[in-house]
Chains A and B, each alone.
Chain A
Amino acid sequence: MSTVQEGSLPEAGSPAAFQAEDAVKARGYWEQVWLRLKRDRLALAGGGFIVLLFFVAFAGAPIAAMLLGHGPNDQFYTAVDPDTYLPVGPMTRVQTPDGGTTLFILGADSTIGRDLFLRLLYGARTSLEVAVFATLFSVGTGVLLGSLAGYFRGGIDTVVSRLSEIFMAFPALLFIIAISATAGEQLNGVTFGGFLAPGVFTLVLVFSLFGWYYPARIVRGQVLSLREKEFVEAARMTGASDWRIVRSHLLPHLVGPVIVYSTLIVASLVIGEAGLSFLGLGIQEPTSSWGNILAQAPQYYLTVPSLMIWPGLAILFATLAFNLLGDGLRDAFDPRKTG
């Protein structure tokens, strides 16, 4: 097996050149991305945690409920300490109405006496539903509008750009409060036949409404640059339609930045959901979410601080995982990063 020494490159067409081409294995774009990503252990750990989180939230929660014999919204008044009137602590066996007992792995969530562990698992489900669907809708809208604006420019670009500026200037929190106070009850009831938890649709709508303009601006900038490249010119000369150019020649170049942005935005939406639910504007009781679990905790921060710690850790690790993966993907998609 021959090697190619730096500073002694063979001339093209020479036998040595053929030998060198054999030695350098051609790698595709995605393979190179994967190779770069593989070298980032933190990103991989983040990705692994996310996979685990999805499994725990969507499969683990119902399995845990079945094994424990109660649901996340079931109230056990025996899960409140009769002496202190505080929620019971971790690994407490709680008496059930039929005279049996059931295990509260992380204790009770409040003086209502619900299982904190199950509520955390089901809360993960709610948080992920909100974050993932809102990301899909906001990024999808952003990519569509950004591509159109960047590719066609002119009037469409003006409309999309001004629209994004208006949305950026709009007081989103006030709008959310107004929505919550007026149409919140109706919107919270939209669950698509139980597919989504109550309240998820409202948050997805709100986050999508106020989340599309950043990806739109990123994509617009990219497309403005790409549309001047030779390969687009070539495609246009061969008679490709605008739709084909956008779909087949531009969008593949946008996959990297869009995936990176999406990963990072999921993390911020997990925090957004928790924040709004904490303020009472997001997911409403009895549906569990990390935010409304956390909302119960401040009154106990001197007496049962673990009520704040568990949902806090869940939010911390979930956002950290998405951020680490996002950072790793950003580096992996960057061909200048050779690692």
Chain B
Amino acid sequence: MPGKLVLATVMTALAASLFVAGALAGGSATSATKGGTLRYNHSLSDYEYIDPQKCYDTGCSELLWPTMYNLMQYPEKAGPLGKRVYPEAATGLPVVSKDGKTYVFTLRAGHKASNGKTVTGQWFVHAFERLLSPKMGDAASARFGGVSVLASVQGAQAFYDGKTQKISGISTKGNKLTIKLTQPFPSLVSALAMNWFTATDPSTPYSEQDVNTVVGAGPYYISSREVGRTVVLDRNKNYKGSRPANPDRIVVTVGGDQNQSILQVKAGQADLEPIVPSAAAGALADEFGVNKSRFFVKPTSVTSYWALNSLPGQPLANAKIRQAINWAIDRPAQVRVSGKFGGRRTTQILPPAMPGFQQANNIYAYSGANVAKAKAVAGDVSNVPTLRIVHSNSSANINRGQIMRFNLEAMGLKAKTEPIPSAQLFTRAGDKKNGNYDVLAIGWQADYPDPSNFVNVLLDGRNIPDQGSSNNAALFNSPKFNKLMDAAAKLSGDARFAAYGKLDVQIMKEAAPWAPYINANNRILTSARISNLIYNEANTDIALNALVIK
């Protein structure tokens, strides 16, 4: 007995010491992953907007992601796992009515934002209201067709037009939030993960101006901003959720030179440059390898394309000429402009990262005989007037414009280029009356991973307004394809994705309203002290809150 007692005592002591050692080791591991200040360079220019309801580009959405607390959210995970939307502010997936028009979310109780207030259903209602309110000036919804995304919400249009004070289709009672739609919108759950729909303090005023601080119900909040210089994110001490919150603080320096930023990151004076300049990519890959330690190449859900003005009466109204242009353009050259690891060549509308994408290798495959093929498809083009190629005045797009012009002239067309500022490009794109272009360089990144966000948003001819710009830069309006888009939009699950995948290829083969050329990559450089870079392919953002400072 005493021997057993001694043995038991020794074993107990050993187990206890191991437990303590394990606990201590665990503790030290935790402290090693948390803390420090992340120095993030957002080069070239300042954010256009950091207001969640105004932000509509990848730069600001990446900045806002750590502050966001949405009904549905994408996890800070890479690869396919990152594309699975999960309920964040909701306790589970919504209860959807049989007709697919009513969504009821149950909200988590007691979640507090950075300002100490408890998040309620009204926070989400306010996000919708700010997004659609005419008092917000050129809010993202107004500028980029957000209303069309939300058109299926009951009362959205009336509220947007200023006819009502409330959006009739959104209501909250207790811990329930109800969204009523005028028609089924199968991708609503994915769409709700956008920054537009993040929980927004109801006391946040409507304003045409941008904000300098953002109350965060996510792991971080924006504590300060000096326009043109810095944005600072601090950890939300009230956050009790499961999302990572590793750095104590994230300091974003905006508006620097990209090349200088690369030198800073290499020297450890900054931690992250998310947009490596195209000319530097090759050397960085040689130095650090790709996706190994410090230089990362990640796919985006962007398709860059030449929109071919398909409006009846225009020089490219004839689908044959549009197809010929697709044969004529030297896509490898267009891709090379983006530099090493700039992206993958494409002839399709949907990017590979998009659910439903079907690789079709034989559409406008590039070979040495493309000009001859283009001439054969187009026939006599001597009567086609000089084509107006419009593109932004960035160095890369000027080069792409020159390549396009060279290619068009090689197939017998006459062409001239017009570089314009990006802001002008967006106001001219998809404008029936004042667009004044035949070929326009533009690109699209999906708001959420659903193919309708590409095909219907960009090519449904019924979305082209009589006046003003639109997302349909090709001014493509085909009753046949409009019907097919309607049919695909009504489907859900795999059938939906299959229909869109097929439609993508069919549109490009038969109508060719675009000449797509690249699905761009993100090229990212980190300093030596950074680890745990998680790149989410659904929103194509780096999870800044997950980065670990060694």
- Taking beta carbons and an 8 Å cutoff, which residues of A are in contact with B? 73, 75, 77, 80, 83-86, 110-113, 181, 185, 280, 284-286, 295-296, 298-304
Contacts and interface: CB of A to CB of B under 8 A. Distances in A.
Interface in B315-360: 330, 332-333, 336-337, 339-340, 342
Contacts of A85: 278, 281-282, 336, 339-340, 342
Contacts of A284: 417, 419
A77 B279 CA distance: 16
B337 A280 contact: no
Given A84-B340, A284-B419, A299 B403 contact: no
B405 interface: yes
Contact of B402 (A185, A280, A286, A299): A286
Contacts of A110: 395, 399
A284 B395 CA distance: 12
Nearest to B399: A112
Contacts of A113: 333
Given A112-B333, A299-B277, 6 more contacts: A75-B403, A84-B340, A85-B281, A280-B419, A298-B259, A302-B263
13 contacts: A75-B402, A77-B336, A110-B399, A111-B278, A111-B337, A111-B339, A112-B333, A112-B402, A280-B393, A285-B401, A285-B402, A285-B419, A299-B395
B43 to A, nearest CB: 12
Interface residues of B, number: 31
Given A280-B419, A285-B402, A302-B280, A75 B262 contact: no
Nearest to A307: B279
Contacts of B333: 75, 77, 80, 111-113
Interface in B268-326: 277-283
Contacts of B395: 110, 295-296, 298-299
Given A110-B399, A299-B395, A83 B282 contact: yes
A83 B340 CA distance: 8
A111 B399 contact: yes
B343 to A, nearest CB: 11
A275 B403 CA distance: 24
B161 interface: no
Contacts of A80: 333, 336
Contacts of B533: none
B277 to A, nearest CB: 6
A83 B332 CA distance: 13
Q: State the 4 A-B residue pairs at the shortest beta-carbon distance, nearest first.
A: A84-B282, A85-B340, A303-B279, A300-B279
Contacts of A86: 279, 282, 339
A295 B399 CA distance: 11
A303 B342 CA distance: 16
B256 to A, nearest CB: 13
B398 interface: yes
B417 A285 contact: yes
A113 B395 CA distance: 14
Contacts of A299: 259, 277-279, 395
Contacts of B339: 85-86, 111
A150 B507 CA distance: 72
B144 interface: no
B418 interface: yes
Interface in B490-535: none
B332 A302 contact: no
Nearest to B393: A280
B426 interface: no
A286 B339 CA distance: 21
B406 interface: yes
Nearest to B340: A85
Contacts of A73: 406
B2 to A, nearest CB: 76
Contacts of B278: 85, 111, 299
Contact of B336 (A111, A295, A303): A111
A75 B406 contact: yes
Contacts of A83: 282, 340
Nearest to A87: B279
B91 to A, nearest CB: 49
B494 to A, nearest CB: 38
Contacts of B398: 280, 285
Nearest to B286: A84
A79 to B, nearest CB: 10
Given A280-B419, A296-B395, A303-B283, A77 B342 contact: no
A294 B413 CA distance: 29
Contacts of A111: 278, 333, 336-337, 339, 399
Interface string B346-387: 000000000000000000000000000000000000000000
Nearest to A286: B402
